[in-house]
Amino acid sequence: MTEKQIQKVRDTIKKHKAALSLEKRKFGGYDDSYGRRYVIAELYLKIADYKGAATYFRWFEKNFPDDIGYPLFYLAWAVTLFERGKLEEAKIKTIQTNFLNTYLFDVILSNETHPIDKSETIGFESLSYAIEIKQDCDKVVSKDYLNWLAEFIQTEFYLSTMNRFISLRKLLQDENDIVQRRKLIDEENKLEASIKSTIT
């Protein structure tokens, strides 16, 4: 990418940030139906500006604490943490990415994968979605991150966490009782909280 192309991306980032700031000033908060809060992160990674991306993700976490995000966004976050040398945090964000789509890493690593009979209630949780966004993911990941990822997904920490998550999703698939479903969802939340606690 030429300097001119990089500057064009930076100008686009500035425009999106300005639009978000204007929205906050006018309405006292963010609606962001355009999705600028997600686009900005991907633009930073497009030019491999991991320092800028890291600063942006900290801002995002403060201003959108309950935002569920989506797989590509979380992948960009994980890559940023990895490239900034925050390996423990990168592990957590990588697993959170896989919680959003359990097929994504096998797809981007070109590993064989098949649909799993489990609860997938949001459109971005499916295998077909992972395949659909592969090219976008390829633009976000670095070669070093992919090499690290291939090793990380073989670790006991990763495997035990994902096995537990998938087992809970399988139980949810067949559970119709509202109380029992709530308990399973609570178990998912506890699982995510437990992995976050490993770096605090």
Predicted confidence at residue 24, as pLDDT, reads: 87
pTM higher than 0.75: yes
Task: Grade residue 94 by pLDDT with cuts at 50, 70 and 90.
Answer: very high
Higher local confidence (pLDDT), 118 or 31? 118
Q: 10, 32, 67 — which closes off a domain?
A: 67
Place of tokens 């990418």: 1
**Domain span at residue 19?**
1-67
The answer to the question of residue 73 being in a domain is no
- Tell me, yes or no, whether 89 and 63 share the same domain: no
89 & 185 share domain: yes
Last residue of a domain, one of 41, 67, 93: 67
Instruction: Report yes or no on 74 lying in a domain.
Output: no
Tens digit of each residue's pLDDT (9 = 90 or more) over 54-75: 999 999 999 888 888 899 999 9
Among residues 120, 119, 100, 103, which one has the least CA distance to residue 111?
103
> Does residue 75 lie within any of the structural domains?
no
Q: With bands split at pLDDT 50, 70 and 90, how would you rate the model's confidence at 26?
A: confident
On the question of pLDDT at 168 being above 60, the answer is yes
Residue 79 in any domain: the answer is: no
Average pLDDT across the chain, whole number: 93
Say yes or no: 193 and 131 in one domain: yes
Helices 143-152 and 87-100 meet at what angle, rounded to 10?
A: 80
pLDDT above 70 (res 199) = no
Determine, yes or no, domain membership for 147.
Answer: yes
State whether 134 and 52 are in the same domain: no
Identify whether 141 is part of a domain: yes
pLDDT of the residue at 131: 96
**Last residue of a domain, which of 67, 96, 118?**
67
Instruction: Kindly indicate the confidence band of residue 98, based on its pLDDT and cuts at 50, 70 and 90.
Output: very high
Identify the pLDDT of residue 4: 93
**How many domains are contained in the chain?**
2
140, 42 contact by CB (below 8 A): yes
Structure confidence by residue, pLDDT tens digits, 112-137? 999 999 999 888 999 999 999 999 99
- pLDDT attached to residue 200: 54
Same domain, 96 and 175: yes
3-state helix, strand, coil in the chain (%, to 5): 75, 0, 25
User: Same structural domain for residues 117 and 180?
Assistant: yes
Instruction: Note whether residue 80 is domain-resident.
Output: no
